[in-house]
Structure 1
Amino acid sequence: MSFSVKSHDDFLLYWPAELYTAVPSRPFFPRGFLWDEGFHQLLIWRWDLHISLDIVGHWLDLINIDGWIPREQILGAEALSKVPAEFVLQHSSNGNPPTLFLVLRDLVNGIKKNKFTASESNDIISFLQQAFVRLEAWFQWFNTTQLGKDVGSYYWHGRDNLTIRELNPKTLSSGLDDYPRASHPTEDERHLDLRCWMLLAADCMNSVAELIWKENKPEKDYSSTSNLLSDFDTLNQMHFDHASGAYFDFGNHTEKVRLSWKENMIGNNYVNRELVREVLERPELKLVPHVGYVSLFPFMTRIIPSESWILEKQLDLISNRSILWTNYGLRSLAKTSSMYMKRNTEHDAPYWRGPIWMNMNYMILSSLRHYSLENGPYRDKARAIYEELRDNLIRNVVQNYHQTGFLWEQYDQKQGKGKGARVFTGWTSLVLLIMAEAYNEM
């Protein structure tokens, strides 16, 4: 069951629903995850277009009157039995990456490039015409509720600014869970990945509108939002650090935070001890200096011009063994980060703080290939990195499969061993598209 929230203390049961969807792992995650599903559909539409359209339609049918879709669909007793209580209640102020636009963009581009039969193209256009009102509502929900203080900025809602037990307050709504953000959550935050997801959404909405409404186009102008978010100078002013050559989040931050053991006493009696957060200096508004997957979102969304020196900086970060590069794929957080492989609480092992994830590696590979085909001074460098990274990912996944019989949720950055949930035939299956060199297009 999924839940919507009306106020801080008044939780309402989400309406009875059914969902036709893929799941990340049948034994471990037997429920729909919104941000996983966009990656799943990159595979499924190539296998059966109509199943993919049906699945996307089911997800869009779960939208509420405000345009919000819950990030997890916990439907039925089996799914509920697998979910920790803290994840069951979902707040309607919190989103999840709108990755369904990845597959919609693929379908629109496929029509433009005549990759479909006439019948298939007509079916896609008919689906988009029916789905458009829901897509508009979903986009508008993001573009109003997740706006930051500065024009063209966004931030993920749902971070706990009162926690005393987390080293860095989690950002579950981003899908990247414990990836380090600003140490002290505020409304001043600017989240780089969400800004780039919104560029994808605005660009896709504009393309869909042009495709299905050749006449009597809707009044909303998505191209203006797309142009704003793709402006390279504005992006750099908000998120680029010249010293490191990297892109970062912005927020109220200090690096001097740690977890320390605290002994709890009642009178003179020892009760227990726990790890609690200790802040050693006052935070200030600044770029959050953690290189990792989030830093590469402008590269993944191809905002960086092919002739820019900043592109070479991104290629250097990707290929640097002391930062992101491993023989098994790109790690989620740089070895140089103060949060690298740090536990977030006494009980929470690092999740997006080092291990290798296939969905992000797929998107990075997609852009490496793009830049390797673009005219520019760095195309040969992009091509060499692309070929080696692709080989590393394929080799490691295949080797693990031969050794264990499974695809895994994530892979260890030191030895390449599968980690997390096994039978993870969700987005780890993107390795098939990597083998086929079938990438998402912009």
Structure 2
Amino acid sequence: MIVIIFAIISIILCNFDESMRWGTYKPQLIHAVTQRNMKTFNPITGALMYADHIGTDDRSLVYKIPDLNTEQVKINPVHHNGKDFNVQVISDPNTKSIIQTTLIKFPIESKVNFVDEIKTLNIEKPLSLFYVLTIEQFNQFNLETRTFEVNVTNHGIRVSTYNEDETRIEHFFITITVNDRNYQYNCTDEKLSNLTIRTLFNDYIFNYDPRPTLMQAIFSNSTNTNNSNLVAIEFRAQPGDNVIIQVTQTDKYIPDYGFDNLEQLSDSLAAVNRFNFKKVFGTDNKCAYSSFSNLMAGLLFTYGNLSCVINKDTCTAFKPMLSHTPSRFGFPRPFLWDEGFHNMIACKINPDICLQSLEDWINTMSIDGWIPREQPRSEELRSYIPWLKEDPRESNPPTFFFNFEYLIDNHPEYKERIGKIYLKLFSWYNNWFRTQAIFNDQGKFSGFLKWWGPDEDSNLGSGLDDWPRTDGSKVSKYNIDAQSWGYFFTFHMAKLAKLYDVGIVSSLEQRLELILNKMNSDMLDPNDLIYKDILYYPNTDDQVFYSPHRGYVNLFPLGLGLIDKSRVDIIQQQINFMRSSTMWTQFGIRSLESNSTEFRKKSNYWTGPIWVNIQFLVLRALKLYYWEIDGVQQFYRDLRSNMIETICSQYETRGYFYEHYNQNLDGLGQGNRPFNGWTSLITLIIAEKY
């Protein structure tokens, strides 16, 4: 077993980018710097906590975004490039405080790996600031054990880790300045001292939440300095204080200083960051830049297993995962089809992060080609959604192929690396078709596809959750969005096969033709020229019906560019459909027609609200595939303008990007916030980089 584990680790390390070892990889926390430890998968994490009072309820220690009322508390990633620089401002009216966090990482050859700074911009009442260092144990095999040692000097607080042979590994040097003066760390008068250092050991580290342990220590005043895996540095600030806590980290020597000119360095890096953004996206639009920064702030690294309906190999195996997340507040975990949209932005500015994310996702594949669509790979992440169990019959739209296409077309240096996972991609493709395609009695693919769901009217795998799939007693026979994604998947597998496996290209192209022919012959309603789901009465194949529900599902043939340019009548009818009063609003296109019997029913999730990712697919297709067709350009300009106004005005007035937007009268942002996921596609919409 040990030999196998080390073999797996050595393979992973081959593609490890050392510059990505530290980062804000716990986006569900207000601010944390954590280690992407690819040797043992047991990271060190440094996290900010704060409280205006310490009550018996451990939630009085603020540090998790999901614990906040984010309509009141504003978490604003001012700058975040996903790699080596970020600045965030936390405005909390409950504690009457404004706190700025700054993380700067340095090149690999530097003596210092990073500097993490906590700075108070405004304090109106007493506030306790905590910087908490922890050693976590994600790896059940315990390949190493590290503990902390703390030393207080005249210059600051030195925290070092030791392994079992008492060799120093990492060093953290913490300095504190108050109102531009260095703090006197060795002050022995408790009445004058605002500083408390606690060192503790507890096994909470399997499910990261140090608050209960820290609360216990605060009230008992007890500490244990031997073999600690938690160091909590508390500084009690007073109203009007300007407090700066700096954490300098290195592996190569023991630091003994802070950075006097970090603000100047930060300003310079901010200018460089904006310059690079404009160079890539061709715009310095504030909303586009903020949207991008929000997406990068949601980058997560985790390691662990999954909870599944059936314990397949990918569920029981402990695996690493680097991925963006849809929402630091509501969905602080990786989602499959979401990540394909996220990477449409990330690939353009951080292609190395984009490809690493794709590789991690593909490496979570089961031996028979299934990739779980939602991957909370740790006890910590599962604590947000303990009832979730992944089902191997469930798939998700294969949006990763937007990313592979971009990387191969624009970064030929990655072709060989992508080629190494080609066979896994083909295995995923085969599994996807086995679970979502319809086969005849002879076991032959019929040319039709339908999403598998736990019941006839629930399709989490489709990504459109509660969008109506039934009509009375009639249920789905074929789904037009599954049909469209099936064509998309096959098209891109054929494109990859031309590079890596030419022998199967012909069979894939034959399947493409079959899927498209069936879509045009059986799923295009001749009465309104709209592609639709096909329904039938269960236990009979005698008669089929076009679904009466129209909305986002019907837009996928257009949004994925599957409609032949020569069928101008169909394309113009799609535009007329989206322009109709039942679909069109000044804020964007509704997810379901307002005259549908299911409009705003169920969870009112995909049954009315405006979602950015579908608008993006429509805009992208119109620009790339149908630009010369009469009426397209004006519709494109109108929809693009509406989306920019809706999303950016909400960000300006309310401080957040939202999960979806109200289709009714006001276009207000709704659902989870901050939603740093595919709402960030507004960056590409503004830049017109499709």
TM-score by length of 2: 0.52
1:121 paired residue among 409, 412, 416:
412
Q: Structure 1 residues 183 and 79, CA, compared in 2 at 3 Å: closer, same or farther?
A: farther
Matched, 1:90 2:428: no
1:410 paired residue among 660, 682, 687:
660
Matched, 1:312 2:572: yes
Alignment of 1:194-213 (within 5 A): 194-213=482-501
Question: Structure 1 or 2: larger helix share?
Answer: 1
What SS does structure 2 have at the residue aligned with 1:18? strand
Matched, 1:357 2:611: yes
Is contact 1:29-1:79 (8 Å) kept?
no
Matched, 1:158 2:458: no
Structure showing greater Rg: 2
Partner residue, 1:328:
587
Taking the aligned partners of 2:671 and 2:552, their CA distance within structure 1 comes to: 19
Matched, 1:182 2:442: no
Partner residue, 1:225:
511
Taking the aligned partners of 1:186 and 1:68, their CA distance within structure 2 comes to: 30
Is contact 1:147-1:154 (8 Å) kept?
yes
Structure 2 runs not aligned, ≥5 long = 1-304, 441-445
Is contact 1:155-1:191 (8 Å) kept?
yes
Matched, 1:101 2:392: no
- Counterpart amino acid of residue 238 in structure 1: D
Alignment of 1:139-154 (within 5 A): 139-149=429-439, 151-154=446-449
Matched, 1:65 2:367: yes
Deviations 1:82-122 (A, max 9, x none): 2161xx112111111111112112333xx2xxxx3xxx312
Question: CA offset at residue 186 of structure 1?
Answer: 9.1
- Counterpart amino acid of residue 426 in structure 2: E
Is contact 1:372-1:381 (8 Å) kept?
no
What SS does structure 2 have at the residue aligned with 1:153? strand
Higher relative contact order (CA 8 A, sep 6+): 1
Q: Structure 1 residues 170 and 189, CA, compared in 2 at 3 Å: closer, same or farther?
A: same
Taking the aligned partners of 1:15 and 1:183, their CA distance within structure 2 comes to: 41
Question: CA offset at residue 230 of structure 1?
Answer: 3.0
Question: Superposition RMSD on alpha carbons, in Å?
Answer: 2.4
1:382 paired residue among 621, 627, 632:
632
Taking the aligned partners of 1:382 and 1:313, their CA distance within structure 2 comes to: 11
Q: Identity rate of aligned residues, in percent?
A: 32
- Counterpart amino acid of residue 591 in structure 2: S
Taking the aligned partners of 1:64 and 1:357, their CA distance within structure 2 comes to: 31
Is contact 2:395-2:461 (8 Å) kept?
yes
Taking the aligned partners of 1:64 and 1:331, their CA distance within structure 2 comes to: 37
Is contact 1:159-1:185 (8 Å) kept?
no
Taking the aligned partners of 2:425 and 2:314, their CA distance within structure 1 comes to: 24
Partner residue, 1:366:
620
Taking the aligned partners of 1:400 and 1:341, their CA distance within structure 2 comes to: 22
- Counterpart amino acid of residue 18 in structure 1: P
Question: CA offset at residue 382 of structure 1?
Answer: 0.6
1:75 paired residue among 349, 355, 377:
377
Is contact 2:369-2:428 (8 Å) kept?
yes
Partner residue, 1:296:
555
- Counterpart amino acid of residue 2 in structure 1: L
Is contact 1:5-1:12 (8 Å) kept?
no
Partner residue, 1:54:
356
Partner residue, 1:3:
307
Partner residue, 1:398:
648
1:136 paired residue among 412, 426, 446:
426
Question: CA offset at residue 393 of structure 1?
Answer: 0.2
Taking the aligned partners of 2:469 and 2:376, their CA distance within structure 1 comes to: 27
Question: CA offset at residue 237 of structure 1?
Answer: 2.3
Is contact 2:565-2:626 (8 Å) kept?
no
Deviations 1:362-409 (A, max 9, x none): 0011112235434xxxx2301100001000000111100001110000
1:30 paired residue among 332, 351, 355:
332
Matched, 1:235 2:537: no
Structure 1 runs not aligned, ≥5 long = 162-168, 255-282
Structure 1 residues 237-246 or 38-47, which shifts more?
Answer: 237-246
Question: CA offset at residue 203 of structure 1?
Answer: 0.8
- Counterpart amino acid of residue 369 in structure 1: K
Matched, 1:422 2:673: yes
Taking the aligned partners of 2:596 and 2:429, their CA distance within structure 1 comes to: 33
Partner residue, 2:533:
249
Question: Structure 1 or 2: larger strand share?
Answer: 2
